[in-house]
Amino acid sequence: MKTASIGLLLFWLSTLLSGCSRFHFRPKGVPSSAVWVDGAFIDCSIDKMIKKNRCTVFDDHTGEILAEGLFALANPGAAGKSELQFAAYGDRKIFLQDTNILSLEEASERDPTNRLIDDRLKSLATRGGVTAANCGKTTTNKPEEQVSACAKTAFESRKPFYVTYSFPGKVAYISYGLAQDAEGNVFEVLYNIRGVVKIELGRNDQIYDKNHIRVTPCVRPVTLGKTEEGMLACIPPINERESALAAQQKPIETTVCAIAENPAAFNNKLVRVRGHVSGNFEYSMLDGDGCSGSLWFAYGGDSAPPGLEAYVSGGAVPGAVDPDGKVILPIPVKLVQDSAFRRFQSLMTARVKADALYEKKNPGKFLFHRMTATFVGRIDGVSDEIHKYHQKKSEMDKADYLGFGQMGLFDAQLVVQSVENDAVLSVEPQQSTSQ
């Protein structure tokens, strides 16, 4: 009898284990209609009016919502009942067994792209159990004035509030918000669907929700201002003394290679350096002999070097920050447009024309020209942490926009103040032919 009971128990265990791939315990809050696939429970219905699927994806261990909203196939339309046979979930996409893919097109309020930042802002503003004003949500590019006005009024009255700015679109991949608690503490909150890079963190920053949320306490005394787009943001106080000292600097002699190897050591320094300028319609670079890296090459003021027509700038900001979080302003740089600069500018224009002429005469082939000269200007450099992080990255990795210039790919930039009268136009030693 005892032997039979043990045998029955072993049979039952083996049956249970063999069925693990087909059965998964359902966390609280996951409806019975949700179907389990590896790593997630998926629940979808068909909205015939708008020809899309309303789907919710749950974590199979915690029941947390991983994605929710309107999903659609690549070819406009909803997946029919017979097609809703799930194979997997990942990267905000539901993979179907017939190889079709349902992609999230419009996120609900419970979707992490909305819920995580909303919950964090509310929790900061209502600390201590107080009630906070929800000033609403608007876009980052064209914020509604009444949303910012509500937050500004609450801030000036020292009343708890929170406000959210989201990148335009039906799925907010990046969002930003402000919250003030009853004690007058103000916090900037950032949500990033790709996750916050830890090396971006300041001394007092904290991250939450599996690295998707960053909370930055604003430095006291807190001042709110508006960005160029019209969003409210904390304006860090300025260290007037250090800013004044920085502005009085005399140029130091150095090399492009030294700056490229240790950009943080030259940040907000005035330098005199000789190098080779090259580029195209989206790149402007300064190289040195034997260097493994380049600097972004920029003019002081609002003008751009000839040939540079359009680029997406990185997120690095000129200037520095002292140990208390106060800003040390970037050295003011005004471009000196004297006879030496005008000669340099003329040769720079000739460089652009020479590159274009060669390509026109030799379709599919490229011969690049460069300008060699001596410059005086300000260096803006990233931190040691970011520089080391970039050194470990592969060229195949996606741009992280943490530096200067095109897509933040440069760990340092030279902002030109003046050019000496020694400019020379030549052909780059390394020629590139492609296509």
- pLDDT of 226-281, one tens digit each? 988 899 999 999 999 999 999 999 999 999 999 999 999 999 999 999 999 999 99
Q: Which of 210, 234, 258 is the last residue of a domain?
A: 234
Q: Report yes or no on 300 lying in a domain.
A: yes
Residues 245 and 380 in one domain: yes
* 299 lies in some domain: yes
* pLDDT on residue 430: 62
- Joined tokens for residue 434: 């492609």
* Integer Cα distance of 386 and 399 in angstroms: 13
101 and 116 co-located in one domain: no
- Which of 105, 120, 138 represents a domain boundary (last residue)? 105
Asked if the model's pLDDT at residue 190 lies above 90, the reply is: yes
pLDDT at residue 13, as a whole number: 46
Q: Are residues 201 and 337 in the same domain?
A: no
Q: Please check whether residues 189 and 92 belong to one and the same domain.
A: no
Q: Is 58 helix (H, G, I), strand (E, B) or coil?
A: strand
Q: What is the pLDDT of residues 352-402, one digit of tens each?
A: 999 888 888 888 777 788 999 999 999 999 999 999 999 988 877 888 889
Evaluate if residue 4 carries a pLDDT over 60. Answer: no
Q: What is the extent of the structural domain holding 98? A: 33-105
Q: How far is CA 8 from the centre of its chain?
A: 58
- Same domain for 222 and 329? no
- What percentage of the chain exceeds 70 in pLDDT? 93
CA–CA gap between residue 52 and residue 45 (Å, rounded):
9
In a domain, 399, yes or no: yes
Angle at 337 between CA 310 and CA 276, to 5 degrees: 60
Strands 269-279 and 252-253, by their bridges, are: parallel
Which of 105, 132, 152 is at the close of a domain?
Answer: 105
Threshold 0.85, pTM exceeds: no
Residue 68 lies in a domain: yes
Question: Do 53 and 187 fall within a single domain?
Answer: no
136-166 pLDDT, tens digit per residue, is: 999 998 999 999 999 999 999 999 999 999 9
Taking alpha carbons only, the member of 207, 202, 199, 230 closest to residue 218 is 202
Distance from C-alpha of 269 to C-alpha of 79, rounded to nearest angstrom: 59
**Does any domain span residue 17?**
no
| 11 has a pLDDT exceeding 60 | no
- Whether 297 and 410 share a structural domain: yes
Instruction: Mark whether 291 and 227 lie in a shared domain.
Output: no
Specify the number of domains making up the chain.
3
Question: Which two three-digit tokens encode residue 244?
Answer: 């004044």
Burial of residue 63 (CB within 10 Å: 0-12, 13-18, 19+) is middle
pLDDT, mean over the chain:
91
* Contact criterion met (CB below 8 Å) for 111 and 67: yes
Shared domain for 96 and 148, answered yes or no, is: no
Measured in whole angstroms, the distance separating CA 116 from the mean position of its chain's CA atoms is 17
Q: Is residue 356 part of a domain?
A: yes
What is the Cα gyration radius of the chain? 28
Are residues 152 and 281 located together in one domain of the fold?
no
**Does residue 1 belong to any structural domain of this protein?**
no
Q: Is residue 302 part of a domain?
A: yes
Q: Percent of the chain having pLDDT more than 90?
A: 76
Are residues 356 and 415 both part of a single domain? yes
Instruction: Say if residue 193's pLDDT is above 70.
Output: yes
Read off the DSSP letter of residue 250.
P
> What does the pLDDT read at residue 66?
97
> Do 275 and 320 sit in the same domain of this protein?
yes
Which of the residue ranges 171-180, 188-197, 388-397 would you say has the lowest mean pLDDT?
388-397
Contact 124, 179 (CB under 8 A): yes
